[in-house]
Structure 1
C-alpha cells in the first residue's frame, strides 16, 4: 500500500456531527447521533480504519451521547471539536412509510481555527468532507482552506449530500460544489444532489461531466436503483442489494464509508503524510485508466453497496462493523 506496511493510512474527516431526531410515520420520536461526515467517520472506524473527526459538538446531553458513540467505535476528535458552552446541532428527520426521510435543521457551523489545524491533527493520509460543513458559513471557508492545504500530501474525497433547507439557490451554491469536486480524487453524490444542482439535466450526464474536471472516480447513488461509477473511460453499474428496509437514514454515508474503506485497503487512497511518501493519487488514476475497472475498485464498490444495505436494515445511521459484513 502507498501508506506503507508499517502504518495504516490515517483519515481526517471534517464536518458536522449532530443529533438526528427521528419522527416515524406514527409520530413517535427518538434521538439518534448523526451528521453525514460524522457518520462516515463512524463507518470507517467500524471497518477498522484509523479516523479523526474535526467537528463541533456541544457540551449538552446530545453532545455527550455523540462523543460516547464516536469514541466507542474508535473515532478520535481533534482538539477544539467540543464546545462546552454550546448546544449540539440537530436535524429532525421525518420518516415516510417507505423509510425515506425529509429533514429540518438547527445547525451552528462556526469553527475555531484549532479544530482543522492540519499541523496539529496528526498524520493525514486522506481527507474527507462534505454536506453542511462544506457550504454553510462561517465554517465552510475553513473547510475549503483545509482541503486546499491537505491536497499536496493527501488524497481527498467529497460527498455534497446537499441540504437545500440550509443553503441558498442552486446557482449560488454550484461554484463552491464544483470547486470541491475539482479538488477531489473521489466524489460520491446522489440523484437528489445532482437533480437540485442541475435542474432539468440528467444526473448521470452531470456525474460523467464531473469526472472530467478532476476526480479519478465519481459515484452516483440512486437509492433502490443501486449506483453508477464513472471514470474518464467508462462507467460501471453497482447492483442494489435487496434488504428489508427499516429506514434509509445514513445509507449514503455508509456507502461512502464502505467505498473509502475498500479503496484505502487497496492502496488507492491515502499516503503522503510521512517523509518520503506521496499521495496515492497516481495509483487511483492508474486504476481508472482503462476501459474496465480493476477488481480492487469493483470490490470497493461492492463493499460500499453491502455496507449501505446493512445500514438500511437498522433504525437511524448505524453503520455495520467489519464483523457484521463478514457474517
Structure 2
C-alpha cells in the first residue's frame, strides 16, 4: 500500500450525502462526504459518488461540496428529494439518526463518470447505509469490480442494515473499520463472538479466494481507544482525552487520517496515533468538518 509519488493519492467515497438536522442547526453531512472532505484536508484527491434531488437542498449541497474542495460526481435526481437525517444527541455527545426514506442517494447510478472515477482511484470507500436500496447497491457492486483497494466502513444504522449485505461487503473489502458494538453484531452474523481475534479470523475466512490484499481491520473502542490489525499483528492506541462537544464526523475524520497515512506507507502504530489525534479534535468541535490544519494537530505530519 505504500505510495511514494509526485501526484496526490486519489480516493473515491461512495454513498449517502444528506443534511443532518441537529438541535443546533442543519449541516451537510453523510459519512462518505465527511470522509472525502477530511481526505481533501489531508492533501489527497478525494471524490464523492452520490446523488441529490432537484430541490433547494440539492443545489445547496452541490455548492458546499465544491467549497469543501471535494471532486464531486454528484448526480441529480428529478424524482427523489435530497436526503435528510434527524440527529438526536445524547448527554455524552453521541448521535443517533432517523433517515428520510426514500432519498436521492438511494438511486445512485453507475455512469461513465462514476466508472472512470472508480477505475482511477487508489482506494474506494463505502459503507452499509447506501446499500439499503437495490439501485445504489448495484451501482456500488459495479464500482467494486473496478476498484483495486476497497475500504468498508461498516457504520450500521438501524433499521437500514442487512446481514447479507454486510457479509458480502466484508468479503469484498481489504480494509474494514467498525466499532465495538458493531463487532458484537457482525460477529454473531459470522457465527463467532465480538472478540477482535475471533472476528478477524472469521473475516479472513470469508475473504479467502476473493481478495489478495492483506486484511487491515480497525476497531474503535470509544474511551478505550482503538485497535488496528495490520502487518500481521494488532496495534493499540489509547483514547486522546478531550471535552466532547459532539461526535458527529469524529469517526469519519479518524478513518480519513488512518487511511491516508496507511496509503502513504506510514507505519500502523503511528498512523493509528495520528488518526486518534484528529478524531479527538473533531469531537471537541461543533460540526463534522471543522477548520483545522493537520500540520498543527499532528507533529511531523506527512
Normalising TM by the smaller chain, what interval?
0.7 to 0.9
1:143 maps to 2:140: yes
Distance 2:118 2:142 in 1: 15
Judging changes above 3 Å, is the alpha-carbon distance between structure 1 residues 116 and 203 closer, same or farther for their aligned structure 2 residues? Answer: farther
Distance 2:114 2:63 in 1: 24
Judging changes above 3 Å, is the alpha-carbon distance between structure 1 residues 5 and 197 closer, same or farther for their aligned structure 2 residues? Answer: closer
Distance 1:323 1:70 in 2: 23
Match of 1:58 in 2: 53
1:102 maps to 2:99: no
> 1:158 offset after TM fit, Å?
0.8
1:212 maps to 2:204: yes
Match 1:304 to one of 270, 275, 296: 275
Judging changes above 3 Å, is the alpha-carbon distance between structure 1 residues 30 and 210 closer, same or farther for their aligned structure 2 residues? Answer: farther
Mind listing any 5+ residue stretches in structure 1 that lack a counterpart?
Answer: 24-28, 168-172, 267-294
Distance 1:222 1:115 in 2: 39
Match of 1:126 in 2: 123
- In the alignment of these two chains, the number of paired residues is 285
Deviations 1:185-226 (A, max 9, x none): 211111122233345933524532355244521001111211
Say whether the 8 Å CA contact 2:54–2:79 is kept in structure 1: yes
Judging changes above 3 Å, is the alpha-carbon distance between structure 1 residues 298 and 112 closer, same or farther for their aligned structure 2 residues? Answer: same
> 1:120 offset after TM fit, Å?
5.8
Judging changes above 3 Å, is the alpha-carbon distance between structure 1 residues 41 and 183 closer, same or farther for their aligned structure 2 residues? Answer: same
Distance 1:61 1:310 in 2: 32
Measured on the aligned residues, the alpha-carbon RMSD in Å equals 2.5
Match 2:181 to one of 182, 188, 192: 192
Mind listing any 5+ residue stretches in structure 2 that lack a counterpart?
Answer: 208-213
Q: Normalising to structure 1: TM-score of the pair?
A: 0.78
* 4+ aligned runs moved over 4 Å, structure 1: 1-4
Distance 2:53 2:47 in 1: 18
Judging changes above 3 Å, is the alpha-carbon distance between structure 1 residues 323 and 156 closer, same or farther for their aligned structure 2 residues? Answer: same
Q: Normalising to structure 2: TM-score of the pair?
A: 0.84
Say whether the 8 Å CA contact 1:19–1:35 is kept in structure 2: yes
